[in-house]
Amino acid sequence: MLALVYALLMMGGAALLMLPVASTQALDWSQALFTAVSAVTVTGLVVVDTGSAYTVFGQAVILVLIQLGGLGIMTFAVLVLAMLGQSVGLQGRVYLRDELSQTSLAHLLWLVWVIFRVVLACELLGAAALAVIFVPEFGWREGLWQALFHAVSAFNNAGFGLFPDSLSRWATHPLMNLVVPVLIVIGGLGFSVIADVYRQRRWQGFSLHTRLMLSGTAVILPLSVVAVAALEWTNPETLGQFAGWTERGMAAWFQAVTPRTAGFNTVDISGLRDSTSVLFLGLMFVGAGSTSTAGGIKLTTLVVLLLAVAAFVRRRSELDVFGRTLAHAQVMKLWVVSLLALLAVGFGVFVITLTNGGDFLDYLFEAVSAFGTVGLSRGVTAELDPLGQTALMALMFIGRVGPLALGLFLATRTVPRVRYPAGEVYIG
């Protein structure tokens, strides 16, 4: 049902973008649908330039789709019902629990209100900070709109921008390199983590998921910054174009944050070295936090899988972390999700290469970016034929809705009616 609702939202968004008042040029249904799918899945891949191809009305439609896709359809519906004084029935609570990846129906409405406050505060504060950059350059009316658009897009990890070069013209602006990455990180932590921090406010009271997410973020972000800086420091097409250490450091920081399914960039992504592109592939595939605006297999999944490998190497039968034991069934689900994600990306790349004869790394990059709902592009999305663009839309949809549906499917416990003797398979 949730997947169907998201699909209907995409079709409705495409219909609105097809209205004459929404665009400044003639668009076909494939372009409008691709934009709508990219917006609802908070990806950011585009086949036409958002700032020039769409009017303010069209941009507003995209912004609403981004907000609904990032916040969640059921979360938004519950907020509206609560504001109208209407009660939320049991079935609505079940849908909301599934969308927010919760295990209980308790405290759901409280969590929704926390989400609403956090989203409103972050987006308004982010827009106010970005207005300091945009208003002096573009005037009050256009500057405030651009500030709001980019703040909402950044917090929802959407990556939609109103400039053809994303945010490259502000690559060395300190405020831009602070506000946008902070919005990306907060939006990518996950609403459950934010609510947990808001409620507990001390490490000992945090849930296991919150501890894993915060610890993983604290490790992967600095490592990503160092890796990007080391690989691209002398590349004249990326960091090497900046003279000072401070400017290169800011650009490295921004590019290290954005593969966490954000999609913004301040340097030319197509100019990255192949080694850096491979690093980006890994970061995009992993993504950020569960129940967040980000995509990918999620950072906590990677952390648990690494812990499982370490436990296997050490010949330990139990997987213990932060004083808690993770069940084998839960670890198996993470392995299944990761494997199916790899298969989805692999099949998507296969479909793209069937009728497109470009560089394989470019196609792989676009496919992983689509599945991880990142939006970073090496500039080949618009050049793909209809089959290739359809494959990207399918990957975006699977990346946003697929893990939810798969998680619900795997969460359904069935009791086997027949048990067989144990067998043995030789490995290696």
**Quick check: 336 pLDDT over 70?**
yes
Q: What confidence tier does 412 reach under pLDDT thresholds 50, 70, 90? A: low
Whether 176 is covered by a domain: the verdict is: yes
Note the pLDDT tens digit of each residue in 121-141: 999 999 999 999 999 999 999
Q: What confidence score (pLDDT) does residue 151 get?
A: 95
| For range 104-111, the mean pLDDT | 62
Tokens read off for 40 = 């609802």
pLDDT at residue number 361: 92
DSSP state of 321: E
Instruction: For 23, list phi and psi in degrees, rounded to 5.
Output: -130, 160
Domain count, the chain: 1
Please name the residue ranges forming H helices in 56-175: 56-71, 73-83, 90-99, 108-138, 140-155
8-state DSSP, 267: S
Q: How far is Cα 58 from Cα 374, in angstroms, rounded to an integer?
A: 21
Four-CA torsion 95, 97, 103, 107, nearest 10 degrees: -140
Residues 6+ apart with CB under 8 A from 133: 147, 170, 173, 175, 176
Domain span holding position 112 = 2-410
pLDDT given for residue 403 in this prediction: 62
Check residues 324 and 403 and name the one with the higher pLDDT. Answer: 324
pLDDT, one tens digit per residue, over 205-248 is: 788 888 889 999 999 999 999 999 999 999 999 999 998 899 99
CB 335, CB 297: distance < 8 Å: no
114 CA to centre of own chain: 20
Half-sphere exposure of 77 (CA within 13 A, CB side): 16
For residue 212, the Cα-to-chain-centroid distance in whole angstroms is 18
Q: Look at 278 and 417; give whichever has higher pLDDT.
A: 278
Tens of pLDDT, residues 168-197: 999 999 999 999 999 999 888 887 788 788
Mean pLDDT of 23-34: 91
Q: Is the dihedral of CA 182, 187, 189, 194 positive or negative?
A: positive
Helix (H) or strand (E) holding 210: helix 208-232
CB 339 within 8 A of CB 222: no
Q: Percentage of residues in the chain with pLDDT exceeding 90?
A: 47
Both tokens assigned to 205: 């009271």
Cα dihedral 10, 282, 223, 201, rounded to 10, equals 40
Q: In Å, how far are 59, 65, 149, 162, 203 from 143, measured between CA atoms?
A: 14, 21, 10, 11, 40
Residue whose C-alpha is closest to residue 161's, from 68, 265, 259:
265
pLDDT tier for residue 386 given thresholds of 50, 70 and 90:
very high
Q: Please answer whether residues 153 and 165 qualify as being in contact, where contact means their C-beta atoms are separated by less than 8 angstroms.
A: no
3-class DSSP state of 323: coil
Residue 421 lies in a domain: no
Longest dimension (CA), the chain: 74
What is the structure's pLDDT at 174?
93
Question: Within 10 Å of residue 115's Cβ, how many Cβ atoms?
Answer: 22
| pLDDT tens-place string over residues 68-95 | 888 765 565 555 555 555 555 666 566 5
Check if the beta carbon of residue 269 is closer than 8 Å to that of residue 132: no
Task: State whether residue 83 is helix, strand or coil.
Answer: helix
Please state, rounded to an integer, the average pLDDT across all residues of the chain: 85
Distance CA 270, CA 9 (A): 32
Closest C-alpha among 381, 403, 383 to residue 393: 381
Q: What is the pLDDT of residues 41-63, one digit of tens each?
A: 888 899 999 999 999 999 999 99
> Which residue type, as a one-letter code, is found at position 60?
A
Kindly state whether residue 364 falls inside one of the protein's structural domains: yes
Q: How many CB atoms lie within 10 A of CB 89?
A: 10
- Which ranges in 258-359 belong to alpha helices (H)? 274-286, 299-313, 328-355
* In a domain? residue 341: yes
In a domain, 423, yes or no: no
Instruction: Evaluate whether 251 touches 172 at the Cβ level (below 8 Å).
Output: yes
Please write the tens of the pLDDT for every residue from 252-277. 999 999 998 888 999 999 899 999 99
- Range in 36-40, 250-254, 313-317 the model is least confident about: 313-317
Q: Does 425 reside within a domain?
A: no
- The predicted structure's pLDDT at residue 132: 95
Q: Of 100, 101, 325, 99, nearest to 208 (Cα)? A: 325
Classify residue 143: in a domain, yes or no: yes
Q: Would residue 310 count as lying in a domain?
A: yes
Given this model, what pLDDT does residue 300 score?
87
Q: Give the residue with greater pLDDT, 166 vs 317.
A: 166
- Res 102 pLDDT > 60: no
